[in-house]
Chains A and B, each alone.
Chain A
Amino acid sequence: MPPALLSPHSPAGVDARRDAAYAVARTVRDPELPVLTLEDLGVLRDVTIDADGGVSVAITPTYSGCPAMATMRDDLERALREEGFDRVTVRVVLSPPWSTDWITPAGRAALAAYGISPPGPAPRRAAGPVPLTLGPVHRVARCPTCGSTRTSLTSEFGATPCKALYRCERCLEPFEHVKEI
């Protein structure tokens, strides 16, 4: 049976409505990295249908000070309204904290194609104090221009909180790397 014929309050109707809402939400793009959808970036955590039939979307910030949260919320509300979901609530989920490991394979490919080096695996560490790292940071960052891995870190902080600055030693082009958290 096509979803449109289901009652929105029957269990199957709720599922279909949830799937339809998710299909819309997953297309919304990150305002600062528009090559990524919020789903690719891993900040879209959940889409549910409330008891009153409204859509509830859960998103999580990449960093505590992420200035794009309000824009993400508005973009989600707008996209869902345009598709006929007139009651939309966007919730913030703080736990578990966002990790670059949540960036999807498609998202990583899109970043690389856009000229941003995607993150490696997020650091794993045992419980207890966070070890101090005084030496140079070792990670494989591939130059998105020429593909060389002979690259050097310029700064651990870039134009957005989630990126570090690199330079390619081979073609000398600067580029950004999404740093692992």
Chain B
Amino acid sequence: MTTHESPTPAVATESTGVAHHPSHPAPNPSDAHGSVYDALLGGDPSHWAFGTDFEDPLAGVDTTIPQGVGGEDLGVYCLMLADDALIASHRLSEWSSNAPDLEDDIALSNIALDLLGQARLLLARAAAAHPALVPALPAGSPVPPEDALAFFRDDRAFRNVRLVETPNGDFAQTVVKLLLFSTARLALLERLRGSRDHVLAAVAAKGVKEVAYHRDYAARWFVTLAGGTEESRRRLVAGLDRMWPLRAELTTAHAVERRLAEAGVGVDPSTTEAEVDVVLDQVLAVAGLDRPERSPMTAVDGRLGRDGMHTEALSRILGEMQVVARAHPTGRW
């Protein structure tokens, strides 16, 4: 049977011979009275998040660069915070429809959405601070700068820490990764609320409220899995062991972060280390676990994720995340 006939024919089932009429006729695009597809084809572009004049997430926000800071430094700093959120969000969204139960499917998707929102604002801020960071696109491309940064940069231009790009593993490993990431990000955003940059201060103030929920979620699951069954504890310990070497990078300052911190615009992540350790030790103590004796993952040629040095996992993420956008740089959706 073809699905393009109109009106939709009644379907006679072989076993009963009873005609069955679908409750809704298939839409006919050539119907003189229009079809349900009409709303998708013209008029209101706000339905589409990519490739149209969707919305500048910073419309009307004061994006003046604070005195004493270079535009490029500020832009690169925003990329660091944005890429952490973007890549963590993409990884978490891989759990959609795959989580152990519906509640956690929804929870992980919610956390991914919060982080995607933070990434959007920060990418837009990066583009406004230093337009040269935005990859050049063909003339007439409708792709806004924030999307150009997300979809048209190569792996070496991404500034995220390597922790967020690691594969999800099982649920326990994802819980460990989320605990490490959200603990460090919360401590950082808490301090960034005092930034002299209005956009960063505002993004941080909002983000603190969101990431506080993310960290509590991960910490509760951490304790639950530790005290659950032998198998859940085994998986948690294995995940902790795998993720622990990537922890140090979260509180290691890059030269740009140090410069921005000195200017009162950014936060030196090494200043959050003591606070992050207190929180992690608290969770480990309640879970009855010790810190793994694993040394930090080494730099490659002295370079870390913040320098654009990544694992193969990031290339695979970008391959999936960017393929459609890159195939149609002038596409309208």
Question: Which residues of A pack against B, CB within 8 Å?
Answer: 58, 61, 63-67, 69-71, 73-74, 89-98, 129-130, 132-134, 154-159, 161, 165, 179, 181
Does B150 sit within 8 A of A, measured CB to CB?
Answer: no
Are A129 and B275 in contact (CB-based, < 8 A)? yes
Closest to A137 in B: B216
Using A65-B115, A66-B117, A95-B198 as known contacts, list a sample of 17 further A-B pairs with CB atoms less than 8 Å apart, ordered by residue number in A.
A64-B120, A65-B114, A69-B55, A74-B44, A90-B59, A91-B60, A94-B61, A94-B206, A132-B279, A133-B216, A134-B282, A134-B286, A156-B216, A157-B106, A157-B109, A165-B106, A181-B209
Partner of A92, one of B57, B215, B223: B57
- 18 A-B pairs with C-beta separation under 8 A: A64-B117, A64-B118, A64-B120, A64-B207, A65-B115, A93-B61, A94-B121, A94-B199, A94-B202, A95-B198, A95-B205, A129-B278, A130-B212, A130-B215, A134-B216, A154-B103, A161-B210, A165-B103
Tell whether, in the assembled complex, residue B216 and residue A132 are in contact, meaning their CB atoms are under 8 Å apart. yes
Question: Given A130-B186, A134-B283, A154-B103, A63 and B210 touching (CB < 8 A)?
Answer: yes
- Max chain A C-beta neighbours (<10 A), residue from B109, B110, B215: B110
- Residues on the B chain within 8 Å of A133, using CB: 216
CB atoms of A70 and B55 under 8 A apart: yes
Known: A58-B60, A63-B117, A130-B186. A94 touches B203 (CB 8 A): yes
Interface membership of B50, Cβ < 8 A: no
B116 within 8 A of A: yes
Cβ-Cβ contact count across A and B, 8 Å cutoff = 119
Q: How far is the CA of A51 from the CA of B324 in the complex (A)?
A: 43
Q: Across the interface, which residues of B come within 8 angstroms of A66, CB to CB? A: 117
Contact check: which of B61, B110, B219, B223 meets A157 at CB < 8 Å? Answer: B110
Closest 9 CB pairs of A and B: A65-B117, A91-B60, A64-B117, A94-B202, A157-B107, A95-B202, A155-B103, A65-B113, A157-B110
How far is the CB of B333 from the nearest CB of chain A, in Å?
Answer: 14
Q: How far is the CA of A96 from the CA of B187 in the complex (A)?
A: 19
Q: Report Cα–Cα, A98/B43, bound state, in Å.
A: 31
B113 and A156 form a contact (CB under 8 A):
no
Contacts A94-B206, A133-B216, A157-B110 known; A70 to B54 CB distance under 8 Å? yes
For A92, list chain B residues within 8 Å (CB): 57-61
Contacts of A179 in B (CB 8 A): 213
Output the least CB separation between A67 and chain B (Å).
7
Q: How far is the CB of B217 from chain A (nearest CB, A)?
A: 6
Q: Which of B276-326 contact A (CB under 8 A)?
A: 278-279, 282-283, 286
| Interfacial residues of chain B within 34-57, with CB under 8 A of chain A in the complex | 44, 46, 49, 54-55, 57
Residues of the B chain whose Cβ atoms lie less than 8 Å from the Cβ of A63: 113-114, 117, 206, 210
User: How long is the Cα–Cα vector from A159 to B105 in the complex, in angstroms?
Assistant: 11
B210 touches A64 (CB 8 A): yes
**Which residues of chain A are within 8 angstroms of B220 by Cβ–Cβ distance?**
134
Q: Which residues of B contact A134 (CB under 8 A)?
A: 216, 219-220, 223, 282-283, 286
Name the prevailing secondary structure of the A interface residues.
loop
Q: Counting CB contacts under 8 A, is B201 at the interface?
A: yes
Across the interface, name the chain A residue whose C-beta is closest to B220.
Answer: A134
Inter-chain CA distance A133–B198, complex, in Å, is 30
- B189-232 vs A, CB cutoff 8 Å, 1 = contact: the mask equals 01000000011011101111110110111011001000000000
A20 to B291, CA, bound (A): 62
Closest to A65 in B: B117
A64–B211 alpha-carbon span in the complex (Å): 11
Complexed CA–CA distance, A87 and B202 (Å): 28
- Enumerate B90-145 residues with CB–CB distance to A below 8 Å: 103-104, 106-107, 109-111, 113-118, 120-121
Task: With a 10 A CB-CB cut-off, give which of A66, A93, A156 has the most chain B CB atoms.
Answer: A156
CA distance A156 to B107 in the complex (A): 7
Residues of the A chain whose Cβ atoms lie less than 8 Å from the Cβ of B202: 94-95, 97
CB distance from B332 to the nearest CB of A (A): 16
Q: Across the interface, name the chain A residue whose C-beta is closest to B89.
A: A65
* Closest-CB distance, A134 to chain B (whole angstroms): 6
* CA distance in complex: A58, B62 (Å): 13
CB distance from A127 to the nearest CB of B (A): 9
Q: Is the CB of A97 within 8 A of B205?
A: yes
Asked if B46 and A70 make an inter-chain contact with CB atoms under 8 angstroms apart, the answer reads yes
Beta-carbon contact of B107 and A132 below 8 Å: no
> Is A95 within 8 A of B201, CB to CB?
yes
Q: Scoring B residues 57 to 88 as 1 if CB is less than 8 Å from chain A, else 0, what string do you get? A: 11111000000000000000000000000000
